[in-house]
Amino acid sequence: MARIFYITTPIYYVNDLPHIGHMYTTVVADVLARFKRMRGFEVFFLTGTDEHGQKIERAAREQGIPPQALADQVVGRYHELWRELAITHDDFIRTTQERHKAGVRELIRRMSEAGDIYKASYEGWYCSGCESFYPETQLKDGRCPDFGHPVERLAEESYFFRLSAYQEKLLAFYRENPDFVRPASRFNEVVRFVEGGLKDLSISRASLRWGIPWPGDDRHVVYVWVDALTNYISALGFGSENQDRFQRFWPADLHLVGKDILRFHCVYWPAFLMSAGLPLPKQVFGHGWWLKDEKKMSKSLGNVVRPDYLIGQFGADPLRYFFLREMTFGQDASFSDEGFLSRYNADLANGLGNTFARVMAMARRYFDGKTPPEACGESTLRAKAEEAVARYLESMEGYEFHRALEAVWELLSAVDGYVTEKAPWGIFKAEGASGRLSRIMYNCLESLRLVAVMISPVMPGTADKVFDALPTDDAGKKQLAWGMLPVSAALGPDQGPLFPKVDDKAFFAEVK
Ligand code: ME8
């Protein structure tokens, strides 16, 4: 039976255009999806957009267009961006789609049938300027957080979910599933939050129009987080007639989210699913924040990074590499143009690009544009390559992407060291295309094949260029066992450097 891997990103709000934080989560999910496919899993990779609620209603009002028109515009940009970044999602869910609404209605029907929904009065701080309620914690100096309008204490009728009834069940579930939330420090925060006591949750809004009408009571719309979380099952057909995808892929193997929305995914979502009698996701990973020059990015500080210029100039791969190499997955990291360029020049133009160019030039010259005629059994380089592969696999499976890439780059520098030590040019001069030279060059080329396989989930375009140069069949593009490069097979044409070196001054003149 095929091994299944169902991975999701958060669905993004459409009140604004995508920035580096949104790109990051989706790139990581794509890297994992590609890695799992390479390892033989049947993958389902879901992303999408969160289109209802107050934020979107307000942003549309400010622009003087209907919320659906705003959503359509921003979604167009997301589709474009995911294409530019070589994202291989299997589906894109929008919460305004009918299939999604059907899933939400079905979830609410089940929670209601379980006796977990009741109507009561919801009391909060109401801003008449924004026509919305704010919890006490969101107020700024006792006024509404966005515009500083005065607020008043008001009550409205609302449907509530009996979250309080799930405190013990959630704690028991956490105890039985010690890997449910990662990193572990974030899991502790979740557990402490639940131990602190859970209040019932208001899950409908009477003061809002832009949302899914409450089933059987269209004076209310469904609270945006109940709406949004359901995307993970509505996209699989939950609530529709065809349950095949839902049966095959649910529960999710991994919900990938930013640390800001961990509580929704680790407390509310499992409680809704328990109430509806559905299996719970296997794991939620909360990654850290991208900061800009060590500061939190925000619209009001005007320091939101939208690295479209980097994608335009370099293509997808260098940015994908930077994301995965620079951030220790789970912690915060800082984005800067200087940091990006220095990794580009040091790791890609010099490290990977130079080693590749150096080995290929020799191989072409010594063996008439073919791979060497003799492969190699044992060697110090082979031992290092096998060690790198083992470390790479362990790190990728543990979601330690920067370590996985470190292992690959150590192999690259081992190839460089091996070439310097063996000095193939001297052997060629003395012996011509001898058996010894053949074995040495085979070791180098086979190591490069392994490098290409290992980087392929992160830099698919670059891996393809290496595979265009090295004669590899489909298995050789995926498998990490030593010795799959064929002997005496024609090398592809020289395509020039993988990563042309970029001059700092010229780059910054363009960027700034
Ligand atoms: O929260 N660094 O949507 P959203 C890293 N619609 N990641 C960041 C980031 C940053 N500076 N800024 C944003 C929502 N993100 C809801 C989700 S899911 C059922 C509903 C990432 O558009 C991070 O993963 O505000 C965050 O959780 C996600 O973008 C979505 O942000």
**The residue type at 108:** I
CA–CA gap between residue 216 and residue 313 (Å, rounded): 53
For residue 229 and ligand 1, the question of a CB distance below 6 A is answered with yes
For residue 257 and ligand 1, the question of a CB distance below 6 A is answered with yes
β partners of residue 255? 8, 284
Q: How far is the CA of 10 from the centre of ligand 1 (A)?
A: 7
- The proportion of the chain whose per-residue pLDDT surpasses 90, expressed as a percent, equals 80
Confidence band, pLDDT 50/70/90 cuts, at residue 308 = confident
Helix (H, G, I), strand (E, B) or coil at 85: coil
pLDDT in tens, 62-106: 999 999 999 999 999 999 999 999 999 999 999 999 999 999 999
Per-residue pLDDT at 253 exceeds 90: yes
More confident position, 455 or 329: 455
Confidence band, pLDDT 50/70/90 cuts, at residue 437 = very high
Residue 1 has a pLDDT of: 64
CA–CA gap between residue 28 and residue 34 (Å, rounded): 10
Per-residue pLDDT at 131 exceeds 90: no
Whole-model pTM over 0.90: yes
The count of residues in the chain is 512
Residue 400 has a pLDDT of: 96
pLDDT in tens, 368-422: 999 999 887 789 999 999 999 999 999 999 999 999 999 999 999 999 999 999 9
In Å, the largest CA–CA distance within the chain is 91
Ligand 1: nearest atom to the Cα of 269: 19
CA–CA gap between residue 206 and residue 194 (Å, rounded): 28
Q: How far is the CA of 131 from the centre of ligand 1 (A)?
A: 25
For residue 482 and ligand 1, the question of a CB distance below 6 A is answered with no
Left if phi > 0, otherwise alpha if psi is -120 to 50, otherwise beta: which for 227?
alpha
Scored b (16 or more CB within 10 A) or e, 80-115 reads ebbeebbbebeebbbbbbebbbbbbbbbbebbbeee
Q: What's the whole-number mean pLDDT along residues 424-448?
A: 96
More confident position, 297 or 267: 267
Confidence band, pLDDT 50/70/90 cuts, at residue 130 = low
Residue (of 279, 243, 274, 223) closest to 114 by Cα position: 274
Note whether 477 and 504 are within 8 A (CB): no
For residue 21 and ligand 1, the question of a CB distance below 6 A is answered with yes
Nearest CA to ligand 1 atom 18: 10
β partners of residue 125? 134, 153
For residue 258 and ligand 1, the question of a CB distance below 6 A is answered with yes
Ligand 1: nearest atom to the Cα of 12: 22
Q: What residues contact 319, with CB distance under 8 A and at least 6 apart?
A: 23, 27, 85, 307, 310, 311, 340
Type and span of the H or E element at 295: strand 295-296
Per-residue pLDDT at 512 exceeds 70: no
For residue 230 and ligand 1, the question of a CB distance below 6 A is answered with no
Q: What's the whole-number mean pLDDT along residues 441-460?
A: 98
Q: How far is the CA of 65 from the centre of ligand 1 (A)?
A: 24
Q: How far is the CA of 192 from the centre of ligand 1 (A)?
A: 23
Confidence band, pLDDT 50/70/90 cuts, at residue 136 = confident
ipTM, interface predicted TM-score of the complex: 0.98
Q: What's the whole-number mean pLDDT along residues 35-63?
A: 95
* Main-chain phi, psi angles of 208, to 5 degrees: -120, 145
Task: Out of 23, 25, 51, 306, give the residue to mutate to test ligand 1, the one with the largest number of ligand atoms within 8 Å of its CB.
Answer: 25
> What does the angle CA 338 – CA 79 – CA 313 come to, to the nearest 5 degrees?
30
